[in-house]
Amino acid sequence: MNVRNTAILLRRQWVCAIFLAMSMDQTAIAAELSELHWMVGSWRGSLGPQTVEEAWSEPSGGTMSTMIRLTSATETLMVELVVIREEGGSLVLHLRQFDPTLQLVMAQDMTLAELTPQGVAFAGTQDAAIKMLAYRNINPERMEVDVTTADGTVMTAVLQRK
């Protein structure tokens, strides 16, 4: 098994472990926005053949946010707004996706599923279009974002700090 296949297998095991933890009846995970300090800044990278751009704000007023733009070589495919806010001693992620004309395509709220110094993961509800959204702090200049869709497909955006 090569290094890439091993990394994919480990990532899928990590996602499965998060789903298992979510299925247990547990209280909200204690967290503060300051624990996501490593996400702040501008990022650019790829999601398959598309380009992804994110610009995370500093936490302020109990929230931090990003605007995400997904583009092909010739056009904008999607614009997304993500707001993470402190609620009840934990974190909640609010995601809104828009088409290029800014018509709302999807609205989803997610709860904190895991928080470590190396990453954070948010889980959607059972019937959500996005089951899991996980951000990994690879190093100060690199972040990976896993998007797990309703059918269990995991798409990974590899981002570099701008």
**Which backbone phi and psi does 117 adopt, to 5 degrees?**
-60, -20
- The pTM score is 0.82
In DSSP terms, 66 is beta-bridged to 56, 82
Cβ–Cβ under 8 Å, residues 133 and 91: no
**pLDDT tens digits, one per residue of 94-149:** 999 999 999 999 999 999 999 999 999 999 998 899 999 999 999 999 999 999 99
Question: CA of 109: how far to CAs of 68, 82, 97, 133, 137, in Å?
Answer: 16, 10, 12, 11, 22
What amino acid is encoded at 84 in this protein?
I
Question: Where residue 90 sits, what CATH number does that domain have?
Answer: 2.40.128.20
Q: How many CA atoms lie within 13 A of 75 on its CB side?
A: 5
What amino acid is encoded at 153 in this protein?
T
Q: Match 């995400």 to its residue by tokens.
A: 68
Which tokens go with 96?
């809104």
Domain tally for the chain?
Answer: 1
Residue 9: which domain range?
3-161
Cβ–Cβ under 8 Å, residues 50 and 72: yes
**pLDDT tens digits, one per residue of 1-52:** 555 554 554 455 554 444 444 443 456 899 999 999 999 999 999 999 999 9
In DSSP terms, 55 is beta-bridged to 42, 67
